[in-house]
Amino acid sequence: MPALLSLQIEAFYVGPARVKLEGFIHLQHLRLYDGALQLDDAARLSSLRTLTLRQCHLPFSFREFVDILAAATGLEVLRLDGCLRTLRDCPGGFAKVPSLLRTMITLERLGELRIGREDCALLSHIMPLLDLPHAVLISISSIRSDSGPLHDLSYVLPASMPALVSATTSLIFKIRNGVCTVSRNANDPTSASSESTLLHAFMPDRGRAGAHAFGHLLDVFASAPISELALEVESLDYYDTDLWAHAFRSCPRLQHLHVSGSYGSPDDVFAGLELASDKSCPSCCPSLATMKIGTSDSPLAASDTTYGSVLRALRKRAAHGAGLESLELCLLGLACIRGTSEEVVAILAPWERSGESTHGEEL
């Protein structure tokens, strides 16, 4: 069948299907589920427009697979699920000789990349090689493994993805139970890729690793027009003032911020907002209009310095004409406060020095 353009094989219940592609000289679209490719299929894979491999055995070495990607200049859609760990020299999903001294791999036509159930450490040796100038839909999901911790999750994303970054207007981080999930929204609500999960990855621990991931992934989107940022974590204790200052400086167009956690206080959020403002930018994120800190179901702790941190940040912004239109602050022992900057300052001012909480009515 030399004229065949599209081929789909599913062998879930009959064992791996051994596939030879050499006879399909015009093949453009391949979907293979639970199959086993052959060594001489490399050339045919590189000529495809769409490639989906799920739970397949890949007979190639790590270097050979990377060379296949480099040659696949016409590839428009790439979906890999649970395949990379079958590469000859990647036992358990970890490349024996991962370092490749080669130029970047530019896939000019690739618009969609989905990778599922692959090892973070292995991905970190492939993704930094990828330049995807026009990709608008990227989804990466890793598996839990023992191949070594990866503290910088930005390495499991393509090194360059300018189209996706420039279209991203909101980022939602959920970092709980050793798992980091990052979702994004695009500025084109009519696009099928306007809302998607960008990354779902396991981390080595629940503390500092999550904070590191948050900071590094914000660097990836430093040039994006982020107007909305949300962070949901177990504990805010590792998210210090410097990290929050970095977050605010990374999102100069920020308009809406939502922070929630099961433990910790919001002191560093407001201290970071104050620190991010300097002489060159007296009011960082000048368009910031709404902040929601904590939730009524999971209020945050109030330390002796909480009220002072909140009040200093609000007063400083108000002095430069950048007061908040809405602040919702939910603290333990204090009914959720809602109001403008001025209204919240008026409510918290009496407790600024004492640091005592109150059970006042909601605004």
Domain extent for 12: 1-163
200 and 155, same domain (yes or no) = no
pLDDT at residue 362 in the model? 41
pLDDT digits (tens, 9 = 90+) for 301-353: 988 889 999 999 999 999 999 999 999 999 998 789 999 999 999 999 887 66
229 and 155, same domain (yes or no) = no
Measuring CA to CA, which residue among 219, 169, 217 is closest to residue 191?
A: 169
Residue whose tokens read 């020095």: 353
208 and 130, same domain (yes or no) = no
128 and 197, same domain (yes or no) = no
| Residue 173 covered by a domain | yes
| Residue 41 covered by a domain | yes
330 and 301, same domain (yes or no) = yes
- Residue ending a domain, choose from 163, 181, 199: 163
pLDDT at residue 145 in the model? 59
Beta strand spans in the chain (E): 6-10, 17-18, 29-33, 35-36, 50-54, 77-81, 105-106, 112-119, 130-131, 137-143, 168-176, 179-186, 195-202, 228-235, 256-263, 290-293, 326-331, 334-339
Model confidence pTM above 0.75? yes
112 and 188, same domain (yes or no) = no
pLDDT digits (tens, 9 = 90+) for 22-39: 888 889 999 999 988 888
156 and 172, same domain (yes or no) = no
Task: Give the DSSP letter of residue 57.
Answer: B
Q: Which residues of the chain have pLDDT under 70?
A: 1-2, 12-17, 91-101, 144-151, 188-195, 204-206, 279-280, 282, 352-363
Measuring CA to CA, which residue among 75, 69, 59, 79 is closest to residue 27?
A: 75
- Residue ending a domain, choose from 115, 138, 163: 163
109 and 211, same domain (yes or no) = no
Return d(Cα 275, Cα 242) in angstroms, integer: 8
Return d(Cα 310, Cα 324) in angstroms, integer: 12
- Residue ending a domain, choose from 163, 188, 207: 163
Return d(Cα 97, Cα 90) in angstroms, integer: 9
Of all helices (H) and strands (E), which one includes residue 163? helix 162-167
Return d(Cα 304, Cα 311) in angstroms, integer: 13
150 and 188, same domain (yes or no) = no
CATH code for position 285: 3.80.10
- Which positions ≥6 away from 69 have C-beta within 8 Å? 105, 107, 126, 129, 130
Return d(Cα 322, Cα 307) in angstroms, integer: 19
